[in-house]
Structure 1
Amino acid sequence: MGSFDWDLVSGTMIMDAGALKVFDMGPDEYDGDPTTLSSRVLPDEGRRLDTLVTHALKDGSDRYGAYFRIRRRDGSQRWTHTQGLIHRDETGRPHRILGIVRDASEELTESAARLGLDEGRRKRTSVVESTTAALAHARTVQDVIDLLNDSHGLEYFGATSLVMGLLESGRIHLVAEGPAGAFVPGTRFTRVDEPYPMSEVVRTLTPRFIESAEEFADSYPILWPHISGLGITSAAYLPLIAQARPIGALGLLYGDRTGFSADERNLLVALGSSIAQSLQRAMLYEQEHDLAEGLQQAMLPRRIPDVPGAHIAVRYRSARLGRDIGGDWYDIIPLPGGRVGAVIGDVQGHDTHAAAVMGQLRIVLRAYAAEGHTPATVMARASVFLHELDTDRFATCTYVEVDLATGVMQVVRAGHVDPLIQDADGSCRRLPVEGGLPLGLSAEFGRLDFPVTALELDPDQTLLLYTDGLVEKPGTDLDEGMRWLCSLVRRGPRDLQRLADELCEVVDEQGGDDDVAILLLRRHGAYFPRTGGRLQQHVGQSDPEALRSARHMIRAAVRAWGAADRSDEIELVADELVTNALMHTDGGAIVTLRMLAGPERRLRVEVEDRSSALPRRREAGESGVSGRGLLLVEQISDVWGVESRGSGKCVWCEFDVNSMYIDRT
């Protein structure tokens, strides 16, 4: 340290020996001119120092201070500090500066070290904070493990890998195995009372820091021989505690360090706490997911029935938000006469309540369709049901009834996205369908007249029904999504199952926020379930002439269609069915005869009435005069059954007429 006296009037600066020593300059090298010192001061530092002093002189300051660097005669640099006291005359004009200069190298070195230490602490804290923020997005235990393995935090702390175990029924289940080749046979499940580091921290709820390989070998002689070849030099085992109870343990393994500072220990404990909270959330999520997935599967159809004349593929993919379930559903409903109902729908929401409403709505809609109601009536009744269900949810839906013999489709749309049609050549296009309000809302506003669109599905054409999660994407409109889907279907495989899988893979890759249901139905080109003719006649109550006319029609048709060998049987069974309808219901009956084509030619007799009461077979007794009708039908016909219709029921039976008369005695 030295001092100087700077006469601003003459420009002379007197410096003592200490000041000259700071500048590494001898008395014979300094001539009293301040500019002589500029050879020692770095150019940029000199300009900055001149600017500082000039401002202090002009703005009325009485002192100044600054750090600057000088270059000593050996070329090395040294930090220097100067302070000056400015003297002014009566007018405020500066005329003299008295000050000191000193070597500040050691001072700034220590300050830099402190700044570096603080920066290191901030960086480690930032790593923990960033890791904690990333863990907030982990939904499963595997997500937590993958995130930690990929985290820069472990890299910064020097850990080469990690091991993790979760507490399950008094045992620790190893879910992350550390570096390759680190798995020790027999440690997949270990008891809490066994002499392993994870067991110890779970028992004691206290972190265990192992600072050297020797300490590891001494503390855990059973484990160390199995991992000694991995080059582990230290380890930190942390209990994972959530809500004051242990849920597992985390081990960080190091291969190039020994010992842990107090700051490092504290930060690792904080990291363990964040991981524990994330793991607890992940385990709760997986439990809820399993429950929700079971509920979802219970609500969707357990299997899709085989439908002669059609090839069908269905898929469901859950949302990535909420509990991974929602209100999307599909259904296939076999209908009489070679018809099939195809349903796709979406109940608002992504939770168990949406799934529960979906299950009820699916069953009700299926029941209405199976009763024989028209597509518009099915949708209207389903809307009323949803409105009366005491829920705030609405649903969009498309119901399509397809006659696989003729290809005629009746389409009803309730606020849902339009279906698509894929032609036999693979091209795909949107199918504009007039629609009504969503189910529930249409009942609330009294708009239950759903328009029906009649279309035709040609042989080898495919009907594509889907929910909006497949085509709605952030930042794009629905039309763009529809064009994208048409392009995807056009380029996709012709096999329906592979096409459905490919559509689901695209959904998985995009990670959409909505669940998706898909139903693909392709009509076979060679399916003709009804050929050969169809005759129908109404038989009124108390109208013997109509009954005789119906018998005559049956007899004539059977002979004309080449089934004369069984005409007596067919006439007897038809007469029994008509008589039952006239006796046990109010109103008349409609008798229908049709010839079915297939591997075997079959003649079908149908008798419809307005009663929803189903017939039941009963024993007549030895002296009974009634009760044998259905027994007779069952014995004579090849197959028989009952179908509910919207306005009543239909009792039917079929006869094999492909071969000559079969002796049934």
Structure 2
Amino acid sequence: MTRQSGPAPDGYDPRADREPRRVREPAPGVSHHEPISLRRRLALNRMGTFDWDLDRGFMDLDAGALEVFDLHPDEYDGAPLSLASRVPPEEGERLDAAVSQALQEGTSSYGAYFRVRCRDGTPRWTHSQGRILHDEDGLPYRIVGIVREASGELADSSLLRSLQQERHRQTVMVQQVTAALSRALSVEDVTRVLSGLGGARRFGADGLVLGLAADARFEVIATAGLEGEVPEGMMNSRLDDTLPLSDAAVSRRPSFLSTRGELVARYPRLRPYSDLLPTGSASFLPLIAQDTVIGALGLFNAEPAVQSTEAKNLALALAGVVAQSLQRATLFDQEREFATGLQETMLPRRVPAIPGGDVTVRYHPASVGRDVGGDWYDVIPLPQGRTGLVVGDVQGHDTHAAAVMGQLRIALRAYATEGHSPETVLVRASRFLAELETERFATCTYVQADLESGALHVARAGHLGPLIGDGNRHLDWPDVRGGLPLGVATAFGHDHFPETQLFLEPGSTLLLCTDGLVEQPGRDISAGLEALSAAFRSGPGDLEALADQLSAQLWAEPGSDDDMALLLLRRLAVPGADTTPRLRLHVHQADPSGAAEVRSALRRRLDQWRAGEVTHHVEVAASELIANALTHTESGALICVELVEGDPRRIRLEVEDRSSSWPRRRSPGETATSGRGLMLVEALADRWGAEPRGSGKALWCEFELPEAGTGTGAGTGAG
């Protein structure tokens, strides 16, 4: 009340001019100064109390609390589950999580906002705050608290908006982490997600450490956002309570610390390495899946903070996502290790040495996915010093494909060691596969190599043909005709696999591979073949290093989802021997398309040698000499074209047959249909002639090349 003073000294009383004071009459039966009970005071503020006996599971609600929940006394029987008619399930879960976390951590209080659905269906924001009482042993036995209506304070407040924004942020974080980890198949994939770009930020943290627990050891497998490298002693340690991550795994309980100082105080072993840790808050969360502790996750923040209940719940939810992903990834790695081991046992354990040549092989299972495939390679010693080279692929990417591959590889190896020709080997292998109780087919390329002469006899069953590169890195994909895939060829009655004879010059390299090296989803295989050619051309000279680079650049780097087999064979160059660039081809007498294939191979090689306009002359001369050999002899034709250095450079073409009959130059009349072959050769070549070759003869001709930069088409070939 305002203290009133007496009249002024001059006798004037200001109270005389003042309006009479209006006094509010108290309500009937109520005095202005009547005491208001505690329950009345709470009710006036839309607030009530509760007393929860944890041992009996009974919760007493006073009248004010019943009013907050919009319940009549007869609608509540003292069991907390009776509130389910007013508290929606998702809100009840949030409230239960806050209470459960406080009980587990041994704290003395908790608080949480949640919504109540009134009997008319309208939502009502509510806040609950409780004090947890513990007995002498530290066990909680009672919670006493208040519950109040919070709609008024939240309706237009920034707190409601921040709660909504925080809930949206948490939802987005869970979605992002779940989406990122859903694509992680292996443990390596999981660590890549967590330690890669934005890994820690997905968890709302500045730093992150992930570790696995196994065999009483704790191993750190991923870090992100730390100032330096984790010391070796911390990367692999005993599973005990001296370090926060292993402590979380041992105790199966999370810990939330506000500052780095608090962290170091609890775990003194970290004191020498405190500079590595962010200065703010930290969370250490056990990773538990199906009641099995997999490891622990540590989250670090740059700013100190006391983490809210919502933040703790979010961290636990994200840890659950990580735990499920790691469990799935561990099972995947175990299955993949088994499948890969099965595949490796089906492949040769060692590659035999080859007289006159070097050979190296590579096999890689698919870089993604659980299953292995049916790709294989083999190097087979054959009679008379020859060598069989095989690369193949059984349809499918599973253990069944690997099992079929193992049986087919052994069968093909047996047929080859019997000394059969490549065509016969593939015919028998196709029939073997067709008789197996499987619907799988296989593609395959088989090469019978004689490195003493350089002759290669190639047969192909629906597979990629070979690549040949000479010592000057001139490359060629020779035309090798083939048949249908193994198994399919027999089923359709077309088990015919024509042979193609090629030659491997000293210093040249043969490459065989499966499509996993050159084919990527969404990309045409021709682009893969071009990439392989470029990588081969620019690769290192050492055969092992070349195989490693091809595997890394074309298979591992893009992360192929297919397995891959690669085989490289190099014919050794004899010191001091002639290393003239050369191409040798063979045309069978019964092969009508052989001449066309020879012209195509000649054109590619002469373009590499930059023969310019001479290319056409060599093609015409080769066609005439091949036709002469196939028409007038009873043998095929062996074609050899070589680049002879000198001034000027020359192209020398030889066509050899097994006939001792010497060619005769004729003078055909105007209406004659034959006899002009040697006339064309004489007109186009600078020199030509014939010479004996053992059981037969060879016709040869030479063409002088124009100087570099002159002549039509000069310089158009690929170097």
1:453 to 477, 481, 500: 500
- One-letter identity of the residue aligned with 1:515: D
Secondary structure of the equivalent of 1:479? Answer: helix
Q: Take 1:483 and 1:198, find their aligned partners in 2: how far apart are those partners?
A: 50
CA distance in 2, matches of 1:270, 1:421: 57
The reply on whether 1:288 has 2:339 as its aligned counterpart is: no
Distance 1:338 1:505, change over 3 A: same
Q: Give 1:173's match in structure 2, choosing from 214, 219, 225.
A: 219
Take 2:534 and 2:236, find their aligned partners in 1: how far apart are those partners?
51
Provide the rounded CA distance (Å) in 1 between the counterparts of 2:488 and 2:459: 16
1:369 matched to 2:416? The reply is yes
Matches for 1:582-661 after TM superposition, within 5 Å: none
Q: For residue 147 of structure 1, what is the aligned residue in structure 2?
A: 193
Aligned to 2:445: 398
AA in 1 matched with 2:245: M
The 1:347–1:256 alpha-carbon spacing in structure 2 relative to 1, beyond 3 Å, is same
Change (3 A) 1:189 1:395: same
Equivalent in the alignment of 2:560: 512
374-383 vs 449-458, which moves further: 449-458
Shift of 1:478: 3.0
Residue 239 of structure 1: aligned partner: 286
Q: State the partner residue of 2:351.
A: 304
- 1:322-350 superposed Cα distances (whole Å, 9 cap, x missing partner): 23632111111111212111111011122
Note if contact 2:249-2:286 (Cα within 8 Å) is conserved in structure 1: yes
Cα offset, 1:264, TM superposition: 1.1
**2:172 corresponds to 1:162:** no
Q: Distance in 2 between matches of 1:458 and 1:468?
A: 26
Q: Is the 8 A contact 2:264 2:274 kept in 1?
A: no
SS of the residue corresponding to residue 200 of structure 2 reads: helix
Query: 1:182–1:230: 8 Å Cα contact kept in structure 2?
Result: no
Give the Cα–Cα distance (whole angstroms) in 1 for the partners of residues 573 and 232 of structure 2.
Answer: 60
**Does residue 493 in structure 1 map to residue 540 in structure 2?**
yes
CA drift of 1:210 comes to 1.8
| 1:510 shift after superposition | 1.7
Partner of 2:177: 131
Give 3-state SS (helix, strand or coil) of 1:522's partner.
strand
Say what the alpha-carbon RMSD is for the aligned residues: 2.8
Counterpart-to-counterpart distance in 1, 2:298 and 2:245: 7
Are the equivalent residues in 2 in contact too, given 1:232–1:254 (CA < 8 A)? yes
1:469-505 deviation per Cα after TM superposition (whole angstroms, max 9, x unaligned): 2222333333343233223322333332222222112
Q: Which residue of 1 aligns with 2:315?
A: 268
Normalised by the length of structure 2, the TM-score is: 0.55
Whether the 8 Å CA contact 2:207–2:278 is kept in 1: the answer is: no
Question: In structure 2, how many angstroms separate the alpha carbons of the residues matched to 1:403 and 1:362?
Answer: 21
Identical amino acids, percent of aligned pairs: 50
Structure 2 Cα separation of the partners of residues 154 and 406 of structure 1:
62
Partner of 2:257: 210
8 Å contact from structure 2 (residues 461, 497) kept in 1: yes
Work out whether 1:432 is the aligned partner of 2:479: yes
The answer to whether the 8 A contact 2:260-2:277 is kept is no
Shift of 1:366: 0.9
CA distance in 2 between partners of 1:451 and 1:182 (Å): 61
Q: Distance in 2 between matches of 1:522 and 1:308?
A: 11
* Secondary structure of residue in 2 paired with 1:274: helix
Report if the CA contact (8 A) 1:128-1:153 is conserved: no
Pair 1:323 & 2:370 matched: yes
Residues 164, 370 of structure 1: alpha-carbon distance in 2 compared, 3 angstrom cutoff: same
User: CA 1:253–1:108 in structure 2 vs 1: closer, same or farther (change >3 Å)?
Assistant: closer
Per-residue deviation at 1:465? 0.9
Hey, what's the Cα distance between the residues in 2 that align with 1:205 and 1:524? 64
In 2, distance between residues paired with 1:439 and 1:144? Answer: 40
Q: Aligned pair in 2 of structure 1 residues 149, 420: CA closer, same or farther (>3 Å)? A: closer
Is 2:585 the counterpart of 1:523? Answer: no
- 1:383/1:443 contact within 8 Å kept: yes
Cα deviation for residue 312 of structure 1 reads 1.6
Give the 4+ runs in structure 1 shifted more than 6 A. 106-109
Q: Deviations over 1:258-304 (max 9, x none)?
A: 11112211111111011101111222222223323322322222221
Distance 1:230 1:130 in 2: 25
- Separation of aligned partners in 1, 2:193 and 2:574: 55
Q: In 2 relative to 1, CA 457–154 (structure 1 residues): closer, same or farther, beyond 3 Å?
A: closer
Q: Unpaired segments of 5 or more residues in structure 2? A: 1-151, 576-719
**Do 1:400 and 1:412's aligned partners in 2 also have CA atoms closer than 8 Å?**
yes
**In structure 2, what is the Cα distance between the partners aligned to 1:494 and 1:189?**
41
Highest RCO, 1 vs 2 (Cα 8 Å, sep ≥ 6): 1
Distance in 2 between residues matched to 1:439 and 1:505, nearest whole Å:
30
Q: Distance in 2 between matches of 1:203 and 1:310?
A: 59
Contact 1:158 1:256 in 2 (8 A): no
The residue that corresponds to 2:245 in the other structure is 198
| 2:185–2:369 CA contact under 8 A, matched in 1 | no
Counterpart of 2:708? none
**Contact map agreement 1:202 1:248 (CA 8 A) in 2:** yes
Measure, in 1, the Cα distance between the counterparts of 2:546 and 2:228: 41
* Structure-2 change in CA distance of 1:476 and 1:262 (3 Å): same
Give CA-to-partner distance per residue, 1:304-334, whole Å, 9 cap, x none: 1111122222222221232363211111111
TM-score (norm 1): 0.59
The corresponding residue for 1:422 is 469
User: Post-superposition shift, 1:108?
Assistant: 11
Q: Deviations over 1:27-69 (max 9, x none)?
A: xxxxxxxxxxxxxxxxxxxxxxxxxxxxxxxxxxxxxxxxxxx
Whole-angstrom CA distance in 2 between matches of 1:477 and 1:177: 39
Name the SS of the counterpart of 1:436 in structure 2: coil
Aligned pair count?
A: 422
- Give the CA deviation at 1:405: 2.3
**Alpha-carbon distance between aligned partners in 2 of 1:275 and 1:154, rounded to the nearest angstrom:** 13
Change in 2 beyond 3 A, CA 1:111/1:517: same
User: Does the aligned pair in 2 maintain the 1:428–1:487 contact within 8 Å?
Assistant: no
Query: Aligned AA for 2:559?
Result: G
Partner of 1:333: 380
Residues 243 and 500 (structure 1), Cα distance of their counterparts in 2 relative to 1, 3 Å cut: same
**Contact 1:331 1:342 (C-alpha < 8 Å) held by counterparts:** yes
CA distance in 1, matches of 2:276, 2:483: 71
Q: Is the 8 A contact 2:466 2:477 kept in 1?
A: yes
**How big is the shift at 1:205?**
2.8
Q: Distance in 2 between matches of 1:337 and 1:447?
A: 31
1:377 Cα deviation after fit: 1.6
Task: Look up the equivalent residue of 1:420 and give its one-letter code.
Answer: L
Map of 1:381 onto structure 2 = 428
- In 2, Cα distance between the equivalents of 1:317 and 1:502? 13
Alignment equivalent of 1:115, drawn from 161, 165, 176? 161
